[in-house]
Structure formats: structure tokens, C-alpha cells
Structure 1
């Protein structure tokens, strides 16, 4: 446990990507099985201790300490694990620091009623850093600046292989990953996961910058519309079909309707949409189906899912990713003509003679409910990640609104001491300020410090880690779209809002009205 705690502590204090990679590679090389596999599971978010929950940790802390003092401390620190690790008053006893494997085995075996006793003994045996690492390990959400992708990159460096190989194996494996480590160290065969569980890393696009538009040779690119859904990969083999998000998360349970008619063996790349009578519904309709463990019959009828196909990666046993886009597109069209799977169609190519015509089509994208255009080099193979110069996304220009700051909430990790998450609103005709969005990006570190001070100086009410502020600060907010929402008092929800500019100079009374936002709603 001490070595894992030291790793987390160093990762949290190390800003550089390459330095974080070195720390993880060294840990994997020095730590034995199965502890390094459990650590990898924690770093990638694949561990889940159902019997150990944050509420139990909070209850333990309030039993051991004055509850009011603990709540005040938690409010100030903003992170449960950090608060408990600092405030905990250890009791002397025959306690010893646990190993990761011991923690996993005990938590997997213990009934829920016995978990608090286990946690209490472990917390008493560890120092502050160890307590923090223990609580992060069992409750998840490490927040040490390591994404799942970065952890996989560290694995690839450790095993001297391509991160794409790790990605293709990942979804057929589970902690503590002993077979994976054996292969990476040359001590075992390459794991062979179920073909239907193998996710192939997606090829992504770079934003097309305005300075690049004039120099682009359009004849070298195929053009498609950028549809307003979510990117997915459909994997169908051995009588099983699975649907993955762009990050490799399996979402099959939320979209059984698009998998019902699958009677082929292939790996397809496409856009998940809601379709009615041949028309693409707004993204807000798709959101009604996302992140649900199951979907009702009414939900299936009301929000029918559909996949618009972009690419064919594998057809039967043939891997097509090394072929050019032109050849893969031809194979996709032939494949679709043969199979015609229900709830799927092809993303049609866009014809334009020159960049001026293409720019005009892009400008009209918002009126058609589209995000913009995709440009793909005709000779490009399907390369995992975001390679330069092969695929571009030319999105429509964002919308903007001057909104008033209403609430601020503490951030996480390095931002846990700052009020860095901001809810902002617009004025109604009656002069009421109603929330329309929330953002936590678009400002510099120096601006964050200034914003944090402004929030503290203008707080009028507190709700745990959230502060309500007097209306006095205006943000220029940019966003991709706005749609009706029954979850918000304003009746509207912005998509991908971010702060473009802090309008220190603008009076709150001069911020935009709700009716301005209502006119931008995409029906």
C-alpha cells in the first residue's frame, strides 16, 4: 500500500506528461503481481468495490471526530478522501499497513456490514498519504492527472509495444491483468480476448484551422457531413454484437434496438443518432437514451436509435484498416448493399467543386441541424488516434451569449481549493435570473485566482461546496447549440458551453435575456 500511495502522491504533484509516464512505467516494473494489476485497475477506473461507498467513509469520520468540525473541514477542502486522511485521529493497536491485494480480497469477501470495521483498522494503520491513497483506491475518482489513455500508454512503454495493441486487448481483460503483464514482459503469450469484446481504437480528426483552408487541396479529400450524435463502434462476431463509445465504453445495454437485426460479422464505425421517419432528431433526443442501464419499451418507441455508417474496419476475418479510405469506402458500400441492416444507413459523401462551395455548405450546416463537415484524405489508412494531416473536422461557428454568474462550486484535484465550476444564467422578462448552463473551462490560472477571490467576496449563500453569489459578473459564453430541457428551470440547455471571455467591464443588468437564447433553439 505504501508504494501505491507514493505513486499516487507523486502523480498528483507531477505536471508533466512524460514524467507521469516514467513514474507509472517504473512502478509496473518494480511492483509484483497482483498488486500492480490492482493499481492499474484503479488508475483506469476498472475497479468497483460495491460494498465500500463514500457514505460509509463519511459516517466513520463523523463517528471518530466532531461531525460539525468534519463537515466544515470537508467544505473547505472539497475532497472527501483528502479531508478524512488529514483529520483522522489514529488509535493505537495491532494494526499494520495492508497490501493492495489484501484490500481487494477482504472487500470482495466481506459483507457490507463488516466493511466499516475493515476501513477503520486500515485507516488507523496508515499515515496521512496512505489513508488518502486507500480511500481513493476503494471509492474511485483518483484525480491525479492520469487518464485511462495515459495509463495504457505507460503500459505500452513498459512492454515496448504500440498503445493500439493494448487498446485492442483491453476490453477482453480484467484486473489484476496478470496475463497482460506476463505478455508485456515476454513471459507469456499474447492474450486472446473474445473477438466480439475487442474494441479497435478510433481514428480521430483535427480541427481545420482557418489558416489551413486556403492551402487545402480539396481533390485529395472525401467530404462528409458531421452529424450531431455520438461516435460509436459496432463489433459483431460469433453471434454476439456489442456497441462501444469512442472511448471504448460498452453501451450495448442502452441501445438494444440497433443490435437486434445484426446477422453479420464485421466491425463498423459510425454515428449514433435518433431517427424518426428518415429524419435525424436533435441531440437532446439522443441524450434521453444515453447513460441508462436499461431502456423502457416507451423509450425505444419514443427515441428510436440509428447508426449512420462511416467506415468498415473489419469484414469477417479481413482487417481493412491498412487500406485507403477510398478502398474502404468502396468495400463499405458493397457490404451495405449486400446486408442492408435495419436501423443503419450510409453517411453520404458531399460533392463540392472548390473550397468556396464547401465553405458555403458549412455556413448552412446549422440550419440543417448539422455540426459541420468532415474532410478525409482519400489515401488515408485507418490509423488509431489523431494523426496529423489525414482527417479534419470543419465545425460550424459556435454561438455566444453574455450570461451572469449565479453559482460557483469547488473543483477537483488541483482545483479543489478553488471555486472553478461556474453556473450562469440569463434574465427573464420578469427580471429573474435563471440558470442556462455550467462551465469549468476557458480561463487561465491567473484568471481562476481572480475569479475565486471574486466569488468569496460576493457570496450571499452557501450550500456545502457551492456558493451563490450576488449578480455582478458577466461571462461571454460560447456553445455549440441550445435545446429544450425539462431538467432546467429556464427550460433550455446549452451543449458544450465554455467561457470565452470574462466581462469584468459589463454590468450584469446588460447581460442577455432568456428570449435571446430561446431564438437559438434547434427544433
Structure 2
């Protein structure tokens, strides 16, 4: 397949705001992809590896800019000027190719296979000269690209395709293309997190094949998620436990899924990121404290102060999630305890088993090591007073609250379920998505210091803004945020920019007010930055329903 064919689909999808038109265009593409289906379906999301692969192409904006300069002969300053105009290096590459001053004597038309394979190979370049090799590889693609192709080659290399296609669009397109139920595609993807596998299964084996897909070692499933309850009484009532209530401490750490096959251990975050290298202490704890060869466990990694034994704030602990260097030193500074609360696989899938049975397996598999690997603290209370005491003790110990669970419930990946509720004090900080931003004034004029925040509306599958944040960060934090956000700029209007909604922040505030200024109908009063939630995806942000409930509770 010529890459021009794929680029034409990208262009048509980017040009429409209608979800039905995006879905139809991708469905046609998938249906006609033939043997290239796994490649094409990944490229539709701007990816060349599965979501959970511990693979970083290592392509920065500066590297890509250098590649465009090398391929086109256009001066770097002009490329950077075009880039700043739109906030889109892909658009700058498109313009550079259209105005290039040098051409190869005989260019070779790009194919989908070549673009895909070349970009995958970038992750394998290591050591001396690796950056130059990456520049040459990307430049080679841009040299043979027409302007429209260059736009999308560069965006894919940077990991931000920016055509308005999310997992839901790809899901609907696969269902349409291969005439299978949307729910079956969604469930298969939640279990495997491999859209290429799901696509081939849907095409070749239909609905029956999708239902056969299950959780497997080293291929993480999406986490089952809890609904927020107004208070402890409501939480117990919401999960329908009756007289068989089950409570666990809700920790303020990182939700992780642990996969073990002999001594081979991997740690995945809730966002499917492989953070095994960042947590060698957790890996050793699993090897020492889990008495089975093969299993998949669900738990929470919590950072503790080595001097006091108190849990540290997530903002401090989150440094460990992104740390690439000096891992051992940071592990000594912020040691972790792995608190386990579910067993998804013990050589066979346990997802359809009730929680009580999964917990029995968990107890049989682990040999707790205090401070390293432990069962999440839990209680089956004999009445409301015991439940309330457990809740207050969790808060006093510095934890977030408690989880209420139905012991008869199966494990449902990727869903907020009615059989599990989280109970925390009201007016706690909110986790919100950055959707827009504006450059600050004065000494911070080069920084994106005014950030528009949005909650997630699950009913609409959309983000709805709840206010603008401009305080709470240090100069260093703001500089790091700006560096993180600028590659996500979609459109620029003067000092205002629209962003790809990928970064989730934690913000505190004084109160929630009604407002017609923001799409949610609410506005946070005096929001302040607390930190970046590295462990959360945009759809994991606090919900519009939650914002509404907090507003009502404060009245």
C-alpha cells in the first residue's frame, strides 16, 4: 500500500468533525488493508508498537526538525518559524517539503510498510551515533515524501498524529468494517490492549474469536475502576454488599499490574506503561514474596518516607514513575511498598471468578514481607461502627480513604463498575485534563502558565472545561510543564493555544461555582496546581458527575 493512500485518509479524517464520517473513512481503510491490517490499524492511532510495549522511539522535536532541514535544505530558522506559527511540526514539515531547495535525483514512493518499519527501527538505535542515525532515517522518509505525506510522517515519528482519532473511533471503525458488535471489540481491547490483534481477530474469527481473547502474561489488561461514593454508608449501599461488606484501604500511590513468569517480572501502570526499570525494588519484592511461577496481580505502589514511615504525597512519589537515570538513588530516597489487592491470573485467567475466590488465590500465592510486599489492609466489618472506625483509621494513617467492594463480583477490565466504590473526604483535589493554555505575561512570558482544565463526561465521551489554573507551580515546575505541553499544541492564535488533551493535573481549589463560561456549567474558584498525574489517562480524570456532586454537597 502506498503511503499516499493512508495520508489521504488521514487528511479526510482530520478535515471532519463528524464522528460518523471519521468512523466510515477508517472502516473502509481497515476493510481494504489486507495483510497490512495490523500495521494500518496501529498507524491510525499514530503508533508503531502496542500500547504496553516498553519501547520509546527516542524522537524529539529538535531531532525531527533537524531531519526536515536535512531532507529539504530549508533553513532551520524558517522551519522553526513555521512551527511556532501553528504549533505543529508536521505542518512545518509539509511546508518545507513544498518549498524545498534540494531534491534527490530519484525519489522512491513511500509505502506504508517502509514508514512503519523505519519508525519501529528507530527504537533499536543505541549508543554512539544513534541520534545521527535517527536523523538520517527520518530525513530519508521526508526526502521521499510529498508535502501531505511529510505532515503525517513527522507527526507519527513524534507520537502525536493529531487527526482527532481516539480508541473509541478505531473501535467503532473495526466493528463497522468487520460487522461485529462494538461491545465485543471494546472488551477484547480492554483485555489485550493490542488493537492489531483485535483487528485481525475481528476480521478472521468474528465475534466468537473476540470472545475467546483473554488476559495473558506480559500483555496487561485495563484496570477495573471504582465509582466515587458520597460517603461510607453510600459506598456500602452502592456496591450491593448487604451483610457481606468488604473494605480495603485506598492508598495514594500508583495503580500497577504485576506480571510474573519465573524470575521474569514486569510492572505496568494503569496507563499500560512498562515501568519495570523504574522499580527494581518492587521487582525484587515480587520475586521474593510471590510463591508461584506464573501470575498477574493487581495492586498499588506507595512511596514512604524512610525516616518516619509515613506515606509521601503522590506528587513526590511520581518522580519515580518517570525516572530513567539515578533509579537506585531515588529508590533509596523514596522506598515503596507494594500493597496487593487482587489476583487476575494464576496460570489460568481468574477474571470470571468472584472477588472472594480471587482473594483466596492471592493469599495462597504471596508470602508478605512487611514494608516490601503486603496485602492491602482490609476488613470485613461486623457493622457500620466497625466500618466507620476502619475508614477513620485509614485517613489518620495518611491514606486517601477506603474502597468498598462486593466479594461476589467478577473482574471487569476497563470499566467503572457498580460493584466497587471509593470513599474519600469531600472537596479533595480533582484530577483534570489540560485542554487549552495561554502564555503568561512578564518574566514568565515564555511559559504556558494559564491552563484550562476539564473533567471527563463519560456519558458524552467528551471533556468539559471547569476553569483556568494559573498558580501553585514553581518556576521549575512551570518550565517542565511548558516543555511537556508545547509538543501537544494543535492550533495557535496569538498567545492562546489549543492542546491535544493528554496531560492530567491534580488541582486543589476553594469551592465549585456555577458558571456559563465553561462547558461543564461549573468553575473552580481559585484553583492551584498540585502536580502532574503521570499514572492517569484523560479518561481517568475526575468525572462531570463527580464535579456536580461536589458542587451540591458544598451548598
TM bin, normalised by shorter chain, reads 0.5 to 0.7
Structure 2 counterpart of 1:282? 313
| Unmatched 5+ stretches in structure 2 | 50-54, 457-461, 470-481, 496-503, 518-524, 531-555
Structure 1 counterpart of 2:337? 306
Structure 1 counterpart of 2:149? 130
Alpha-carbon offset, residue 512 of structure 1: 7.8
Matches within 5 A, 1:16-95: 20-34=22-36, 37=39, 40-41=42-43, 43=45, 45-47=47-49, 50=57, 53-59=60-66, 64-65=73-74, 69-86=78-95, 88-90=98-100, 94-95=106-107
Match of 1:320 among 337, 350, 363: 350
Hey, what's the Cα distance between the residues in 1 that align with 2:324 and 2:448?
Answer: 27
Match of 1:340 among 356, 363, 368: 368
Structure 2 counterpart of 1:380? 409
1:101-127 CA distance string (max 9 Å, x none):
123455649986577677667556655
**Secondary structure, counterpart of 2:317 in structure 1:** helix
Compare 22-31 and 245-254 and name the one that shifted more.
22-31
Q: 1:124 to 1:238 in 2, by over 3 A?
A: closer
1:362-419 CA distance string (max 9 Å, x none):
6886554222222222221111121442222233323579xxxxxxxxx8xxx7xxxx
Q: 1:321 to 1:18 in 2, by over 3 A?
A: farther
TM-score by length of 1: 0.67
1:236-267 CA distance string (max 9 Å, x none):
12431111111222111111112224152321
Do 1:21 and 1:154's aligned partners in 2 also have CA atoms closer than 8 Å?
Answer: yes
Alpha-carbon offset, residue 361 of structure 1: 6.8
1:436-458 CA distance string (max 9 Å, x none):
9874313999x98x989xxxxxx
Q: 1:104 to 1:215 in 2, by over 3 A?
A: closer
Hey, what's the Cα distance between the residues in 1 that align with 2:407 and 2:84?
Answer: 55
Hey, what's the Cα distance between the residues in 2 that align with 1:184 and 1:5?
Answer: 24
Q: 1:440 to 1:362 in 2, by over 3 A?
A: farther
Do 1:218 and 1:354's aligned partners in 2 also have CA atoms closer than 8 Å?
Answer: no
Structure 2 counterpart of 1:203? 224
Structure 2 counterpart of 1:236? 260
Matched, 1:186 2:204: yes
Match of 1:98 among 110, 115, 119: 110
Q: 1:270 to 1:193 in 2, by over 3 A?
A: closer
Hey, what's the Cα distance between the residues in 1 that align with 2:257 and 2:527?
Answer: 41
Match of 2:324 among 290, 293, 305: 293
Hey, what's the Cα distance between the residues in 2 that align with 1:229 and 1:513?
Answer: 22
Q: 1:369 to 1:140 in 2, by over 3 A?
A: same
Hey, what's the Cα distance between the residues in 2 that align with 1:105 and 1:116?
Answer: 15
Do 2:450 and 2:468's aligned partners in 1 also have CA atoms closer than 8 Å?
Answer: no
Structure 1 counterpart of 2:165? 146
Alpha-carbon offset, residue 230 of structure 1: 0.7
Q: 1:356 to 1:271 in 2, by over 3 A?
A: same
Match of 1:421 among 409, 425, 437: 437
Matched, 1:440 2:442: no
Structure 2 counterpart of 1:396? 425
Do 1:323 and 1:381's aligned partners in 2 also have CA atoms closer than 8 Å?
Answer: yes
Hey, what's the Cα distance between the residues in 1 that align with 2:263 and 2:279?
Answer: 17
1:475-497 CA distance string (max 9 Å, x none):
xxxxx9xxxxxxxxxxxxx8445
Alpha-carbon offset, residue 33 of structure 1: 3.2
Q: 1:253 to 1:389 in 2, by over 3 A?
A: same
Do 1:254 and 1:295's aligned partners in 2 also have CA atoms closer than 8 Å?
Answer: no
Q: 1:46 to 1:362 in 2, by over 3 A?
A: farther
Q: 1:85 to 1:363 in 2, by over 3 A?
A: farther
Structure 1 counterpart of 2:292? 264
TM-score by length of 2: 0.63
Hey, what's the Cα distance between the residues in 1 that align with 2:135 and 2:219?
Answer: 38
Hey, what's the Cα distance between the residues in 2 that align with 1:18 and 1:356?
Answer: 52
**Secondary structure, counterpart of 2:378 in structure 1:** coil
Alpha-carbon offset, residue 82 of structure 1: 1.8
Structure 1 counterpart of 2:477? none
Hey, what's the Cα distance between the residues in 1 that align with 2:331 and 2:258?
Answer: 19
| Unmatched 5+ stretches in structure 1 | 402-410, 426-431, 453-462, 471-479, 481-493, 506-510, 518-523
Matches within 5 A, 1:157-176: 160=180, 161-170=184-193
Hey, what's the Cα distance between the residues in 1 that align with 2:42 and 2:199?
Answer: 11
Hey, what's the Cα distance between the residues in 2 that align with 1:10 and 1:360?
Answer: 58
Which structure: larger Rg? 1
Q: 1:437 to 1:335 in 2, by over 3 A?
A: farther
Alpha-carbon offset, residue 302 of structure 1: 2.2
CA RMSD of aligned residues (A): 5.2
Alpha-carbon offset, residue 297 of structure 1: 3.2
